[in-house]
Amino acid sequence: MNGAEVSLRSVSKSFAGRSVLRKVDLDIAAGQFVSIIGPSGAGKSTLLRLVAGLDAPSVGRIELRTTGHRADVRLMFQEDRLLPWRTVLGNVRLGLKGRDREARDILRAVGLQGRETEFPVALSGGQRQRVALARALIHEPDLLLLDEPFGALDAITRAAMQLLLEQLLAARPRTVLLVTHDVEEALLLSDRVLLVKDGGVARDLVFDRQRPRHRGDPALAALKEELLDGLLTAEGNLPAVA
């Protein structure tokens, strides 16, 4: 078994009295790739932070189960959170001993070879995000949490990074939770898509389709419609367009 098993039991979270998640129950199998979609402010990042143990739930229980050892978790934050005083390479190697070669390899994989000794100020938004991605991917945690890892990337770079993620996971499978605003990306990469809205999991689609998947797959198109519907009804209080 590769990766950690995750379970949430009636987990609620509120900030200063404002409830964000209400009684969420969730079981994620080891090695499953789960995408989380949902409108802005629905509590997707909050959910990841709870699973990562960075925040405690207001009430409820969260468990990570692994065989033999304590579960190792890495979260790639929604903002890049690069350390400005460390070079690109130094940022990727944060928390690692040695592994210089690997860090250089993964930087090449995210298309940043030749930028290793630069400081983050000199990078563009998308480049910074790729450094943060490299930093998250070089670790081999049982549970990898990615909060909109490709948000700042153009379509082509994004496709390349998705491929990279798939390759790395194929080589070393583990449990992944990926927050994304891109329904197609969710369908392309994951075994399961959760739609988070109104404080809970509104849709839970599990599908075991072959990989690699293709954007044109008609079955995916149908699922996409369904999920977009779910998203749209969630944003029922959008201002009406005259």
Partner 1 sequence: MVTVVADVPRESDASASRAQAVQWRSLLLPWLPPLGLLAVWQWLSATGIVSTAIVPAPLDIWNAARQLAERGELQHDILVSLRRVAIGFSIGAASGLLLGLVVGLFVVARDLLDRSLQMVRTIPHLALVPLMILWFGIGEEPRLILVAMGSLFPVYINTVGGIRNVDPRLIELGRSYGLGRAELVWSIILPAALQPILVGIRYALGVAWLTLVVGETIASRDGVGYLVQNARELLRIDIIMLAIILYAIAGWLSDLVTRLIEQRLLRWHPNYADRGAP
Task: Decide if 24 contacts 11 (C-beta within 8 A).
Answer: yes
The single residue listed with the structure tokens 């583990």 is 174
User: How far is residue 44's CA from residue 40's CA, in Å, rounded to a whole number?
Assistant: 8
The single residue listed with the structure tokens 């991917």 is 137
Answer yes or no whether residue 46 interacts with ligand ATP by CB under 6 A: yes
With respect to Mg ion, which residue has the nearer C-beta, 93 or 197? 197
Answer yes or no whether residue 129 interacts with ligand ATP by CB under 6 A: no
Segment 36 to 75, residues that bind Mg ion, using CB under 5 A: 45
For partner 1, the binding residue among 52, 164, 189, 196 (CB under 8 A) is 52
User: How far is residue 21's CA from residue 11's CA, in Å, rounded to a whole number?
Assistant: 7
User: How far is residue 141's CA from residue 12's CA, in Å, rounded to a whole number?
Assistant: 26
Sequence-distant (6+) residues with CB within 8 A of 240 are none
With respect to ligand ATP, which residue has the nearer C-beta, 78 or 162? 78
Tokens of 112: 């940043």
Question: 3-state DSSP call for residue 69?
Answer: coil
Name the minimum Å distance from CB 21 to partner 1.
20
Answer yes or no whether residue 17 interacts with partner 1 by CB under 8 A: no
With respect to ligand ATP, which residue has the nearer C-beta, 170 or 228? 228
For partner 1, the binding residue among 14, 119, 157, 160 (CB under 8 A) is 119
With respect to Mg ion, which residue has the nearer C-beta, 76 or 107? 76
Other residues' Cβ atoms within 10 Å of the Cβ of residue 168: 17
Name the minimum Å distance from CB 234 to ligand ATP.
11
The contact set with ligand ATP (CB under 6 A) reads 15, 20, 38, 40-46, 78
